[in-house]
Amino acid sequence: MTPIFPGSKDAAGRRATLGVMGGGQLGRMFVHAAQRLGYFTAVLDPDAQSPAGLVSHHHIQTDYNDPAGLAQLADLCQAITTEFENVPAQALQTLAQTRPVAPGAAVVGIAQDRIEEKAHFAACADISGVTCAPYAVIETPAQLQAIQENRADLLPGILKTARMGYDGKGQVRVKTAHELAAAWAELGSVACVLEKMLPLTAECSVLVARGWDGQVVSYAPQRNVHVAGILAVTHAYEGAMPPALATSARDAAVAIAQHLGYVGMLCVEFFVVNDGSAHGGLVVNEMAPRPHNSGHYTLDACNASQFDLQVHAMAGLPLPQPRQHSPAIMLNLLGEVWFDASGQQREPDWQAVLSLPGTHLHLYGKAEARPGRKMGHLTITGPDVASVKTVARRAAGLLSLPGLDTI
């Protein structure tokens, strides 16, 4: 990989341009990071009002598999990334025929399929020191019957679709063999994974960046709180996780990235369970081949954000070692914030929220607020953990956010 330096020009005299597949908020923040360094940017997304497309130099408004759109993106850009894992892997493979693509199609394909993802976690357990929860694959009625008859140890469990599941979608909790059969039918009898429900005490994630040359840097693990399957609060400060668990999670995430030969920004999510196991209660849940919602605090609390590292990694630039300069709590802002208790739409009281010390508001430019839709986030930073928690509780109360009792 020959580095693509910001401000450089190609043989035709065009400015160095970085491309992203997907125009959501992660793409928008990637575009801002790339432009701040001096790159031109191009976004491929079918939505004319996509948050990233609205702020990019170029917006290619086509389907992700459109040959003409992919050819235009490849012609404009010197390197290309993705902002969400459900971009068709085949489209990334097509782009990779002529341009560096990070992360690559093969890795994104693994993250798109829970069956492949769990097989990968199991395969690298010896080097990562952490494995996933006990599970079984259900793709056929015969496999369903075999689990009903022979795998009572997996119940109660969570039935998850192998593909297209995120933010709690495509998941059903089941307690009995009968409920399992009904849930599989409810999900359309598609390929699924039945995962044993574990006694969770916490959830955490680790952000890792790996370059084309194998250089790896990472952030300290952050503790996450989910409500109804959607991230509500991220705690990012010293002491948010027990030191031994934090070290194990960080080492495991780096090992997973190395095992994949990954290039780009990777988030690995873990469960912390109270089961007395030899791995210290750490279980790998899933990975996201991109920046992650739980890493948004890095925009305001670190010397280099996860989006800065995404740009550096794909362009072949040196990876700065991230350093967190302030304790932080990140609060997700879903569409519910724009509605009062009676369901009437209204604007949140930003005057009161932004009057609080250390608040950093990030709205994603989405035209319509809907329940469950990620509209923005609020990061609170401060000189110490106690002051950050105090302000975060006040902000969460003003906005009627869930997860207040966990701050």
Binding-site residues for ATP, in ranges, read 114, 160, 165-171, 195-198, 203, 226, 285-286
Closest by alpha carbon to 47, among 83, 79, 100, 3? 83
The tokens describing 11, both together, are: 């043989």
The tokens describing 112, both together, are: 């798109």
> CA–CA separation, 121 vs 86, rounded Å?
19
Task: List residues forming the annotated binding site.
Answer: 114, 160, 165-171, 195-198, 203, 226, 285-286
Residue with tokens 């997973």: 256
> CA–CA separation, 135 vs 158, rounded Å?
9
The tokens describing 171, both together, are: 């998941």
> CA–CA separation, 292 vs 226, rounded Å?
14
Task: Give the strands of the sheet with 79-82, arranged side by side.
Answer: 58-60, 40-44, 17-21, 79-82
How many other CB atoms are found less than 10 A from the CB of residue 63?
14
Q: Which residues make Cβ contacts (< 8 Å) with residue 200, sequence separation at least 6?
A: 271, 272, 273
> CA–CA separation, 195 vs 173, rounded Å?
10
